[in-house]
Amino acid sequence: MRVLGIESSCDETGIAIYDEQQGLLSHALYSQVKLHADYGGVVPELASRDHVRKIVPLIREALAQADTTIEQLDGIAYTKGPGLIGALLVGACVGRSLAFAWNKPAVGVHHMEGHLLAPMLEDEAPEFPFIALLVSGGHSMLVDVKGIGQYEVLGESIDDAAGEAFDKTAKLMGLDYPGGPRLSKLAAKGRAVDYKFPRPMTDRPGLDFSFSGLKTFAANTIAAQPDDEQTRADIALAFEEAVVDTLMIKCRRALKQTGYKRLVIAGGVSANQRLRAELASMMQQQGGKVFYPRGEFCTDNGAMIAFAGLQRLKAGEREDLAVKGQPRWPLDSLAAV
């Protein structure tokens, strides 16, 4: 089976073609970072309009890269949700319309399932079951994964997700959008100064996350300290260490609770090098292993949607002719395949 995948949930237009036997044949990506930089964050209407401009040329590019004709495609997968409704509808309209015109089956994919399965694109893919730490811009969650569609959400963010906290704290420091990667780069220059940043919700049982208070603590610390490059770097380091420590503590609890020895991290924040290094060290100490996608598949991309869509199409899932987007869509509501 060969599937065309379309991702348009936020500010990246991603197209890919995945073949069940040959693996990933092509992927094309357009990021809207420059478009939204002047506004300090994603402007939904601008995001939707840019998806309209870029999506068809990228589909043509991906087909050409994969040396694939329309006749060779067995289905089309597109991100159905969660995400910005306008952006989702662009991908859904194009994906569903092409499927109808080309007489191919179509399936709507859950964006976070795409992230969760992204490590399966690598040569060394994790086996089920495992714990998944999903940390993207708007989501932080720990999931017990027993198989595709067999998801139990063990904990999730009750306010700001880790990615949001990174971006908002970066903005407080005067860093340009997208702030998270820039804050991490600044943290690399930081010194281990004695800032007492909290590790939120680690002093009580449970696996939920809360990073809103950590962002407020960072804001107060920034306001109370001199406004110079080194001081900001020191604060950035203390903030990043607090986020990473918090995620590690929660992962350790989830692994102990389930007895699993495999941990998957995925989503934009999974590209953070400090997080990867600390989790790898933790898993080595516990006799386990951590898995994550390559850097280009941590952020939103069409490859993860094509792969997840292929699994759903193989299981017989199909969309009807209605074009639908689901800006909110619980991960654990998905059917097992």
Q: Do the annotations mark residue 301 as ligand-binding? A: no
Tokens representing residue 36 in the block:
């939204």
The three-state secondary structure class of 47 is helix
- DSSP-derived secondary structure letter, 332: G
Q: Do the annotations mark residue 300 as ligand-binding? A: yes
Q: Do the annotations mark residue 111 as ligand-binding? A: yes
- Of residues 27, 10, 3, the one with CA closest to residue 307: 3
| Burial of 194 (C-beta count, 10 Å sphere; 0-12/13-18/19+) | exposed
Task: Give the sheet arrangement for strand 75-81, strand by strand.
Answer: 23-31, 12-19, 2-7, 75-81, 106-110
Q: Do the annotations mark residue 137 as ligand-binding? A: yes
SS3 content of the chain, % helix, strand, coil (to 5): 45, 20, 35
Q: Do the annotations mark residue 115 as ligand-binding? A: yes
Q: Do the annotations mark residue 180 as ligand-binding? A: yes
Distance CA 261, CA 175 (A): 38
Across the chain, where does the E strand assignment appear? 2-7, 12-19, 23-31, 75-81, 106-110, 130-135, 140-147, 150-156, 262-266, 289-291
Contact 78, 6 (CB under 8 A): yes
Residue appearing with tokens 């950035």: 236
Q: Do the annotations mark residue 138 as ligand-binding? A: yes
Annotated binding site: 111, 115, 134-138, 167, 180, 272, 300
Annotated binding site for Fe cation: 111, 115, 300
Annotated binding site for substrate: 134-138, 167, 180, 272
